[in-house]
Structure 1
Amino acid sequence: MVYTFKTVLIGNIVLLKASELLAKIENAEVVSILSNVLDDLIRGEFMQLASSSDENQRFRMYLEKTYKKTASLMANCCKAVTILSEVDDVMIEAAYSFGRHLGMAFQLLDDVLDFVGQETKLGKPAGGSDLRLGLATGPVLFAAQQFPELEMMLEAKLTSADDQKKAFEFVRDSNGIGQTRMLAEFHFQEAQRQLSHFKATDARECLLQVAATTLQRSF
């Protein structure tokens, strides 16, 4: 409880400092864009707590939650920088799309690493830590398309330790991890494609390297 309270206080300080820095920018459009990031983060957390009994709706919610909790920050920060740089609308949209696809790829791979990564490098328990929280991520949702029993377990919200263990085994025996990697690869390719709108400079090369590093993450 003490650590939770301290974490909340630290979060409040970070938000305060961020608001202070935003005010110094003196650009109403950028302030609005970055304020929306906070709104997305909060809505994403609420979406993570919600669930749906419909398989297709559940996957759509997962992708939207992934955008709001992770990709929105990258996308809108990229957009804000280009607005401040006073470039044309095509480049602003390309920067936003680059950040969006990079953020989606990053989170999808993070969900993969939750099943195959090493705890010491992940900084959190590995071996399906999200499952233990009752969260169905990409590998789980793809696996559920192969195993109807897992679909039924998801509808029950994976509340028991036994269900969580079985769900982990279903994911391990399915192609869910591979399919999630493929989806991450798609977003990586899209992120790279958006950078074609920018001139070939050291800055663009740096962004390409950032995207490549994201895709190659393995622990």
Structure 2
Amino acid sequence: MTSTTSLFSPVEADLRLLSENLKQLVGNRHPILSAAAEHLFGAGGKRLRPAIVLLISRATMLEQDITSRHRRLAEITEMIHTASLVHDDVVDESSVRRGVPTVHSLFGNRIAVLAGDFLFAQSSWYLANLDNLEVVKLLSEVIMDLAAGEIQQGLNRFDASLSIEAYLQKSYYKTASLIANSAKAAGVLSDVSSEMAQNLYYYGRHLGLAFQIVDDILDFTGSTDVLGKPSLSDLSSGNLTAPTLFALKEKPFLEVLIDREFSQEGDLEQALQLINEAKGIERARELATQNACIAVEYLADLPASESRQALVNMADYVLSRLY
């Protein structure tokens, strides 16, 4: 299994600088917000999204060093992602994230919502200061998509008629949009051709979908220690993901359990058994693999470099989380 340490080696120094800058960017305007930010940015996330931005920046700027705008884009990407996690945790009533207490469990819902709002607002301000209208449009769309995905997920709870297409659309909004649009934005800042910029977008889109599908599989197969949150939390809260949706086609009784919201003793365990029997997890794994392979195809026109190879290996890393 590829470790993130070896995967990110071309941008290791860039990521160290990013971690230092993130805490400074939030500043000391309010002690509670600063404490919340310190807690978030020190919670040991993988930094996958800013790493992709930095790797694309380096892969498209082979003759010269990346600019301060590339670095700021990576920081903005992580701020937007972190803000969305704070709000998600409030909505999902999660007490743990990445193995540490969530912001709302430490500071209360009100502060958590405001801390998320503050990070969104601050990322928007830094975004505007990049002075690149196309990049502003790309990342502003992400913030809208994140909200749309969360709303869609809330409206579709325990909806057994949800299609795989609708699930993938929600997964795009919630996860892939940020990776896709920030990948394209990195290319735009490097002045790549419009065709190359679009290829970078599709790389991010398919990699992001693969990442989300793998995350959804891990909700069934991972331990609480690995996930940093309780397993089966998606299923029990009515968030129906790829393994369940595939299984529903073969196991009609699963719909009965979903319709009664797993309210009877043993319902959740029975649902898991039906999903396993129907090979729902296996089919979801195939869907993740398909998207990861498509992502790599969109890197074909990038010149060979250590950073390009890391972007290719990223697809293997995303899938390797399953094993």
**Common fold: TM-score over 0.5:** yes
With structure 2 as the length reference, what TM-score do the two structures score? 0.63
SS state of the match for residue 108, structure 2?
helix
Partner of 1:5: 110
Q: 2:163 aligns with which of 58, 72, 83?
A: 58
Q: How many residues in Structure 1 have an aligned counterpart in Structure 2?
A: 216
Q: Is the 8 A contact 2:160 2:245 kept in 1?
A: no
Q: CA deviation at 1:50?
A: 2.0
CA–CA distance in 1 between the matches of 2:281 and 2:122? 39
Partner of 2:178: 73
Q: CA deviation at 1:34?
A: 0.4
Q: 2:263 aligns with which of 149, 160, 164?
A: 160
Q: CA deviation at 1:171?
A: 1.3
Q: CA deviation at 1:182?
A: 0.3
Partner of 1:29: 134
Q: 1:122 aligns with which of 208, 220, 227?
A: 227
Superposition CA RMSD, Å:
1.9
Matched, 1:135 2:244: no
CA–CA distance in 2 between the matches of 1:191 and 1:161? 42
Kindly report which structure 2 residues correspond to 1:67-216, keeping only aligned pairs within 5 A, or say none.
67-126=172-231, 128-154=232-258, 156=259, 158=261, 160-162=263-265, 163-216=267-320
Q: Which runs of 4+ in 1 moved over 6 A?
A: none
With structure 1 as the length reference, what TM-score do the two structures score? 0.91
Q: CA deviation at 1:53?
A: 6.2
CA–CA distance in 2 between the matches of 1:91 and 1:124? 38
SS state of the match for residue 16, structure 1?
helix
Q: CA deviation at 1:160?
A: 1.8
CA–CA distance in 2 between the matches of 1:218 and 1:54? 25
SS state of the match for residue 198, structure 1?
coil
SS state of the match for residue 191, structure 2?
coil
Q: CA deviation at 1:40?
A: 0.5
Q: 2:143 aligns with which of 26, 29, 38?
A: 38
CA–CA distance in 2 between the matches of 1:192 and 1:201? 14
Q: Which segments of 5 or more consecutive residues in structure 2 lack a partner in the other structure?
A: 1-103
The alpha-carbon distance between structure 1 residues 41 and 96, as it changes in their structure 2 partners (threshold 3 A), is same
Fraction of identical pairs, as percent:
38
Q: CA deviation at 1:5?
A: 2.2
**Counterpart of 1:167 in structure 2: which amino acid?**
A
The alpha-carbon distance between structure 1 residues 25 and 185, as it changes in their structure 2 partners (threshold 3 A), is same
Q: Which segments of 5 or more consecutive residues in structure 1 lack a partner in the other structure?
A: none
Q: Is the 8 A contact 2:176 2:205 kept in 1?
A: yes
SS state of the match for residue 207, structure 1?
helix
